[in-house]
Structure 1
Amino acid sequence: MDCKQTGEALPANDVTTHRSVLIDGKNLSLRQGTGVASYARSLCDNLMAMGDDVHILYGEDISRYPNPEISFFDVHAKRRIETLPRLVEYVRGILAPPLPWALDFANSPLVSAYSERLPSANMYWNAPGLFDYPRGLLTRGSFASVENVMSATVAHWTYPVPLKLRHAANVYTLHDLVPLKLPDTTLDNKKSYFNLLQRIIEDADLIVTVSTQSKRDIHKTFRIKDEKVVNTYQDVQIPETLLVESEENIAIALRGLYGLEIGNYLLFYGAIEPKKNVGRLIEAYLASGITLPLVIVGKDGWLMERELYLFNRHQKEREPRIIRLEYVTRPQLVYLIRGARGVVFPSLYEGFGLPLVEAMLCGTPLLTSNHGAMKEIAADAALYVDPYDVSAIRDGLRKIVKDGGLRAELVSAGRARATDFSSENYRKRLAAAYGSLKLTT
């Protein structure tokens, strides 16, 4: 999908504009990845490919004494104030935002091992407790203003945080408005969340979002000029080595790792939470009579107990047909996607929906919801169901399993549709968005 299709104008000379961009590491620092973390990694990779300088700012509770590398990479460390220097930093953080300082990992052999947390960048920075500090600032009517020690011209916050970088253009990505659109599916304080977004919208130089649906929702919920909200979509990257791996090797891996036969299971992946609609999916699957296993990949999320009620009861049967995997590596997930008869993702609402494009890119038939941004993203490359109707999901599952002609059509349409979310197209949209900013030099 190019800029003409999305309605965003591309400045003719902006591709060559050089910027110094700060990206927040709030989600990148998580031990298990999220969709926002994937977005941040992709953003870093693409900005680097566009020739921009990229700085990543973490908020890890670590000290620079004697060596920050020890604490940053020690996943077993207990985070607590235990030395005088850290106590000084902690007290300073109460009074004002912590001052970022450089993390020098140039000679560390761990950088490649922890590439999920350390994507491509020119420099890494840390400000201990940065993303915890601003709690309560909204009640005082102000954001935390972060010192621009890295001399960035743009700060791109990939998640709504009450922070802004001094002497820079501040861009915020709002992926969706799930807490406000589906208030019963999250544990957020909805009033605080609304106030946070309201303040971000007032102060931001630009709001970036990832679908026309999300842009429409933002305009319906908040009073904001149309040109201040830009839909860039996002790119979806799967290493070529995983996409060209032979079916024989995938079949061997699936059988050895999970006892699964290629083409003979259905796959859902995502966090186990109400928005993902796992409870209705399980109910529809159990009512369908399908004998192929349903594989559910995803970590526990909020309010997951009710989503897994039928799953837990089903596990007591002699031969349960539902397999749950809480965590798999990225290569293993790609193997699971490529080996599935279909990816089933009847989410209640998505701002974008990474599994949609990943399934299409892998050449796997897709069943998804007709709500949120799903129809916009998948277009004619998916079988759509009403996510609130268990019988509709049940019938959709039967169709995706039994109708080989339909699956072939979806695979063909999916491969074509996935090209719209290439890195090349994403960089054009990103350049257009950044080109609208007034940058200080």
Structure 2
Amino acid sequence: MSASILFELFNMTVPAPTGIATYSRHVVRAARELGFAVDGLFHTYSKLDRRDDILAEVGFFDARNRKISPFAKYIELNWRWMIGAPRGFRPGRLPLSGVVIDARGSESDFANFRNAYALRLFNDIARYHFLRYGSCAVVHTKAIPTVFHTTQAIPLRVRGAANVYTIHDIVPLRMPYSTLDHKKFFLNMVRHLGRTADHIITVSEASRRDLIEICGVPKDRITNTYQSVAFPEAVLAPSDDEIANFVQQAFDLEYRGYFLFYGALEPKKNIARLIDGHLASGTSCPLVIAGSPAWEYESDLARIEEAQGDNYRVRKGRILRERRIQRLGYLSLPQLVALIRGAKAVVFPSLYEGFGLPVIESMLLGTPVLTSDVAALEEVAGDAAVLVKPHDVDNIAKGIRRLDQDQDLREELTRKGKVRAAQFSPKEHQRRLAAVYKSLGVSVSAAPSSSE
């Protein structure tokens, strides 16, 4: 019988998915291709009907399950704050019979799970349980999985399983002014996981050092597997001409005629300095900022609005008004891939990242990259990107100017970037994950796939 693995997948159900959601999809795929029987634990706001499978499935995908009223959340969590989950959690089975038409089709996050489970408000309740008892809340499943693997730092465990935790970074500790996390809870939880987990996975050597040196995680209980980067074939299929036409028609942008930042709007992304650097560079190419607000984003939005002055240009005999700074909201994957492929360069001078997914995604798609010379970003980018000092506006401006004016540099970075991205392929990720699971005595029934 195949070994089984239950993944905690809270971030795959949030309205505007983050990099952890991307990681979750890729790690689930890797486990499946390694031969595991894969189950998923999903978040729900609503109580699902335990007596009627159709109502349970419909209720999970109901638009009203995307948020909870403040009053209902207060009532539910107020008593949980005091008692936590002393009896643990018993997730409900989530039927995925196909009654609900999944708009994502073959790209669905919910396809191909052996079993799917839903657990109400488990992210909040697990946190309250840890604050009350200083231990992980227990998830009770009818059949104990071989491995319980969380895709984030969260105080949950399954008795009888090998408990593995992916901790991407320690931003709440390295940049406490940039997040609203409960810092004491976060540090104590990570220390606890370091003592009690069967193993901890992280996604860069920089994050591994942070977890060892700052949080005291034992060196022999933490492994860097990096992340894998890949896109569905369908979104890679359009030709360059089709991409050029799309970005022109959809966003009124010239192919290879704009710089692109994409990601959540939050303090660590360094948006204000990026805008200042872009304006100071003297480039005539607009800066496109694509992403949804995350937290503490008000000052960034204000700076974007302030910088959105109008310029004018002549194109095909017409005088057109354009903005040097353009902001787009959350985009579908095909739209985002088209924007990346159509950009002159992706600019990502973040202050701190556990990995820096946009760097490698852009390299994979053949787009030159500018990023920061700090921690994981420099580590992941290697010599395949223009590196800048993220606190230095003049240095950011200089980097943008180099990319804007030097076509040979852009072509060189495109070549180097594709080579660099290959080191983060699904095949390489599978190999690293298989080594972690095998170190725990878990049988991996399939060799890492050679397919990309």
4+ runs deviating over 6 angstroms: 80-83, 90-93
1:299 counterpart SS class: coil
1:58 is paired with a residue whose SS is strand
User: 341, 347, 356: which one pairs with 1:338?
Assistant: 341
Q: Matched residues in 2 for 1:376 and 1:255: separation?
A: 34
Letter in 2 for 1:110: I
Report deviation, 1:227: 1.7
Q: What is the rounded CA distance, in whole Å, between the counterparts of 2:103 and 2:158 in structure 1?
A: 29
- Matched to 2:397, the amino acid is R
Q: Which amino acid aligns with 1:159?
A: Q
1:211-256 per-position Cα deviation (integer Å, ceiling 9, x unaligned): 1111111111122322210111111011233334211111111111
Whichever residue aligns with residue 153 of structure 1, its letter is: T
CA deviations 1:391-424 (Å, max 9, x no partner) are 0001111111111111111000001111111111
Residue 58 (str. 1) matches residue 42 (str. 2): yes
1:246-257 equivalences in 2 (<5 Å): 246-257=239-250
1:227 correspondence with 2:220: yes
1:387 Cα offset (Å): 0.3
Aligned partners of 2:3, 2:335: CA distance in 1, in Å?
Answer: 36
Does the 8 Å CA contact 1:62/1:79 hold for their aligned counterparts? Answer: no
Structure 1 distance, partners of 2:267, 2:96, is: 39
Question: TM-score, structure 2 length as denominator?
Answer: 0.88
For 1:408 and 1:322, the matched residues in 2 are separated by 25
Amino acid at match of 2:426: S
| Counterpart-to-counterpart distance in 2, 1:266 and 1:69 | 42
Where structure 1 has 5 or more consecutive residues not aligned to the other structure, the ranges are 1-16
Residue in structure 2 matched with residue 320 of structure 1 by the alignment = 323
Q: Please give the alpha-carbon distance, in whole angstroms, between the structure 2 residues aligned to 1:80 and 1:241.
A: 38
Shift of 1:430: 0.5
Aligned to 1:49: 33
Matched, 1:147 2:140: yes
* Counterparts of 1:245 and 1:239, CA distance in 2: 12
Change (3 A) 1:377 1:82: closer
Partner of 1:429: 432
Q: CA deviation at 1:185?
A: 1.4
| One-letter amino acid matched to 1:206 | H
**Is contact 2:85–2:126 with CA below 8 Å preserved after alignment?**
no
For 2:404 and 2:439, locate their aligned partners in 1 and report how far apart those are by CA, in whole Å: 47
CA-to-aligned-CA distance 1:137-187 (integer Å, 9 cap, x gap)? 233222211113232110000111111011101000010111111122111
Q: Is the 8 A contact 1:28 1:116 kept in 2?
A: no
2:405 paired with 1:402? yes
| Equivalent-residue separation in structure 1 for 2:205 and 2:299 (angstroms) | 31
**Corresponding residue number in structure 1 for 2:449:** none
Could you tell me which residue of structure 2 aligns to residue 6 of structure 1?
none
Structure 2 counterparts to residues 85-234 of structure 1, below 5 A: 96-111=87-102, 113=104, 115-139=107-131, 140-234=133-227
Shift of 1:260: 0.6
2:84 touches 2:130 (CA, 8 Å); kept in 1? no
Aligned-partner Cα distance in 2 for 1:210–1:113: 27
TM-score, normalised on structure 1? 0.90
Quote the residue 1:279 is aligned against. 272
Match of 1:268, SS?
strand
What is the DSSP-based 3-state SS (H/G/I as helix, E as strand, rest coil) of the residue aligned with 1:283? helix
Task: State the partner residue of 1:23.
Answer: 7
Q: 1:36 — aligned with what?
A: 20
* Residue aligned with 2:120, SS: coil
Letter aligned with residue 120 of structure 2: P
Q: Give secondary structure in 1 for the equivalent of 2:124.
A: coil
Structure 1 residues 394 and 316, CA, compared in 2 at 3 Å: closer, same or farther?
closer
| Structure 2: gaps (5+ residues) | 312-321, 444-452
**Alpha-carbon distance in structure 2 between the residues aligned to 1:403 and 1:125:** 52
Please tell me whether the aligned partners of residues 209 and 230 of structure 1 are also in contact (alpha carbons under 8 angstroms).
Answer: yes
Q: Is the 8 A contact 1:97 1:133 kept in 2?
A: no
The share of aligned pairs that are identical, in percent, is: 40
C-alpha distance after superposition, 1:10-63 (max 9, x if no partner): xxxxxxx94200001211111221100111111111111111100001231332
Q: 1:117 to 1:238 in 2, by over 3 A?
A: closer
Larger mean Cα displacement after TM superposition, 407-416 or 280-289: 280-289
Contact 2:26/2:228 (<8 A) preserved: yes
